[in-house]
Amino acid sequence: MSIGFSPPATVVQPSLELVTAPRSLWSDAWRRLRRNRMAVGAGVFLAVMCTLAALAPWLPLVQDPTAQDLRLGATAPSFAHWFGTDDLGRDALARVLFGGRISMLVGLIGTLVSLVIGVSWGAVAGYLGGKVDEFMMRVVDVLYSLPYIFLVILLLVFFERSLIMLFVALGLVQWLTMARIVRGQVLSLKNQTFVEAARALGADDRAIIFRHLVPNTLGPVIVYTTLTVPAVILQEAFLSFLGLGVQPPDASWGTLVSDGARVLAIFPWLVLFPGLALSLTLLAFNFLGDGLRDALDPQDRRDVN
C-alpha cells in the first residue's frame, strides 16, 4: 500500500484594505472652500489688504499721511504720488492705507462686541427656555423695531465721540440677528445625547452652554461674522458722512470719501481710490461669507477628493 504525499496547502493571506478615516466637518468644509475660487480670491484679497494696512507705517513707499505741502496742493496721480494728493498736499495713498487701518479696526472690534453679546444672549435664551426665553426674545423684538442707526447716533451724541465709543455703539446694535441665530441652533442641540451626558457627569448650566453648546454653533456664527464685518464698516462710513464717525486728525475710508465728495467735480481721484478700496473690501467679505456658508452647509456635504 503506497502512501502519497499531497502538496502543502497554499496559505491565503488576507488582503489588507485601505481604510480611510472619515473626514470631519471642518476638514470637509476646508476642501470645498478651496474649490470655490471666488471665496479663495476674496480671502487672499482681504489678507493682502489687512497686511498692507497693518504694515503701512513701515512700508518704504508710504509717506506720512499727516504731512502737508500747501504749495503742492491737490495733484493728480503720478509716480511720486500714486493716488495723487488732496487739497492740503497730503499723499492720498498713505491716507487710504491708514484709513483702512481704522475702517478694518472698527469693523472687527464692532463685530467682536456684537459677537460676545449676541452669542451669550442667544445661547442662554435657547438653553433655559420657558419664560426666560420668552422675555429675552421679546427684548430682541423691541430693539428690532427701533431704527438701529438712530440708536447709534444717540449714543454718539450723548456720550463722548471717540473711537472706543464708536466701537461700542456699532457693536451694541449688531448683535440682535446673531442672538436669534445662536438661539435657534441651541434649541436644536440642547436635547442631544452629548448634552445629557455632560449633565449626567455633573456639568452645570454655564459649562454646558459655553463648553458644549456654543462650540457646536460655530459654523453659522462664523458665516454671519463675515457678513457683519462689512455691515459695520459700511455703517461707520455712513456715520462719517454725518460727521459722527472717526474724528480728525484720524481718518477712515468713510471720512475720506466724505471729504472727497465735496470736491468730486474738481478732484475725482480723492473719491475714486478710497471708494474703490471700501467697495472691494465689502465685496470680498460678502464673497467669503457666501463661500463659507456653502462650505459649512451640512446638507451639502459632497465627497471631495
pLDDT of residue 123: 92
Contact at 8 Å (CB) between 33 and 291?
Answer: yes
Considering the domain boundaries, does residue 289 fall inside one?
Answer: yes
Indicate the DSSP class of residue 246: S
What is the share, in percent, of the chain residues with pLDDT greater than 90?
A: 11
pLDDT tens-digit series, residues 83-112: 888 888 888 888 999 988 888 888 888 888
Domain that holds residue 41: 25-63+86-119+147-172+217-300
Overall number of domains in the chain: 1
Considering the domain boundaries, does residue 268 fall inside one?
Answer: yes
> How far, CA to CA in Å, does 83 sit from each of 95, 204, 267?
10, 58, 11
How much is the pTM? Answer: 0.77
Residue 299 has pLDDT above 60, yes or no: no
Considering the domain boundaries, does residue 108 fall inside one?
Answer: yes
36: its cell numbers: 470655490
Residue 232 has pLDDT above 80, yes or no: yes
Residue 20 has pLDDT above 60, yes or no: no
Residue 74 has pLDDT above 60, yes or no: yes
The Cβ of residue 300 has, within 10 Å, a number of other Cβ atoms equal to: 10
Peptide bond into 77 cis (omega under 30): no
Residue 272 has pLDDT above 80, yes or no: yes
Nearest to 248, CA basis, from 62, 66, 67: 66
Measured distance CA(41)–CA(280) in Å, rounded: 12
Considering the domain boundaries, does residue 202 fall inside one?
Answer: no
> How far, CA to CA in Å, does 203 sit from each of 186, 188, 200?
17, 19, 7
Measured distance CA(179)–CA(177) in Å, rounded: 5
pLDDT of residue 18: 44
pLDDT tens-digit series, residues 141-158: 888 887 777 777 777 777
Measured distance CA(114)–CA(171) in Å, rounded: 5
Measured distance CA(176)–CA(178) in Å, rounded: 5
Considering the domain boundaries, does residue 278 fall inside one?
Answer: yes
Considering the domain boundaries, does residue 253 fall inside one?
Answer: yes
pLDDT tens-digit series, residues 204-225: 888 888 888 888 888 888 888 8
Residue 41 has pLDDT above 60, yes or no: yes
pLDDT of residue 48: 92
DSSP 43-70: HHHHHHHHHHHHTGGG-TT---TT---T
Considering the domain boundaries, does residue 204 fall inside one?
Answer: no
